[in-house]
Amino acid sequence: MTDPAQRAREMSLVRATWPGLVVGFQMEMKVLSSIKEYQPGPQIPPSIWITLGLPSRGTKLHELVHEGLPFEYLERIASLLQVPRGDISKAICVSPSTMARRAKAGRFDTKESDRLVALVAVFEEALNLFENDKAAAAKWMSSPVRGLGSKRPLDMLGTRVGTKAVFDLIGRLENGVLV
């Protein structure tokens, strides 16, 4: 049993006044015996661009695309997206023989680099759609999607029009628009 003085400290009389009405009631105030230490939630994963070692925009990205991305980015992107290199090759419209020449030269041309950057940008949006679940985003990118006429998002990235269609679909899905 608590002593009356302690109980009095824990209780307070509150009086509220409205025109023509006075109300009194008791409110119990509890004193916290301890304050919990702040524990931060899960860390937001770093940007896909940082993970790949690419700038996400600006003149540095423009210069990299214009001179052609180094071939090593293909492996980084394939690993990050959890997609076979052959699928990425098809997505950026590069035949196996051209891919072999690019591997030997060590660099993609400007158009291929632009398509690779578009692929990364689309995957970034898919990651946002799937709340940073890489496996779900990768599976979605590699699966036929009704909103794209049952085509895989990866297969749509060969043209700007197709890439825009994928971006538009992701936007509609994020906003709850039926497709």
- Reported as a single tens digit per residue, the pLDDT across 65-104 is 999 999 999 999 999 888 899 999 999 999 999 999 999 9
Half-sphere exposure of 100 (CA within 13 A, CB side): 3
Distance CA 20, CA 132 (A): 57
Which pLDDT belongs to residue 159? 93
Question: Is residue 65 in some structural domain?
Answer: yes
Question: Is residue 111 in some structural domain?
Answer: yes
Give residue for tokens 């898919």.
Answer: 126
Using one digit for the tens of pLDDT, what is the confidence trace for 108-145?
999 999 999 999 999 999 999 998 888 899 999 999 99
Task: Mention every residue, 6+ apart, whose C-beta is less than 8 A from residue 169.
Answer: 145, 147, 148, 153, 179
Question: Is residue 154 in some structural domain?
Answer: yes
Question: Is residue 163 in some structural domain?
Answer: yes
Phi, psi of 15, rounded to the nearest 5 degrees: -120, 125
Which residue type occupies 162?
Answer: G
Distance CA 23, CA 75 (A): 72
Q: In sequence order, what are the beta bridge partners of 21?
A: 18
Domain span at residue 58 reads 48-174
- Token output for 175: 């906003």
Question: Is residue 36 in some structural domain?
Answer: no
Question: Is residue 35 in some structural domain?
Answer: no
Question: Is residue 113 in some structural domain?
Answer: yes
Question: Is residue 15 in some structural domain?
Answer: no
Residue scoring higher pLDDT (75 or 12):
75
Which pLDDT belongs to residue 38? 54
- In the chain, the number of structural domains is 1
- Within a 10 A sphere around the Cβ of 14, how many other Cβ atoms? 10
Which pLDDT belongs to residue 28? 52
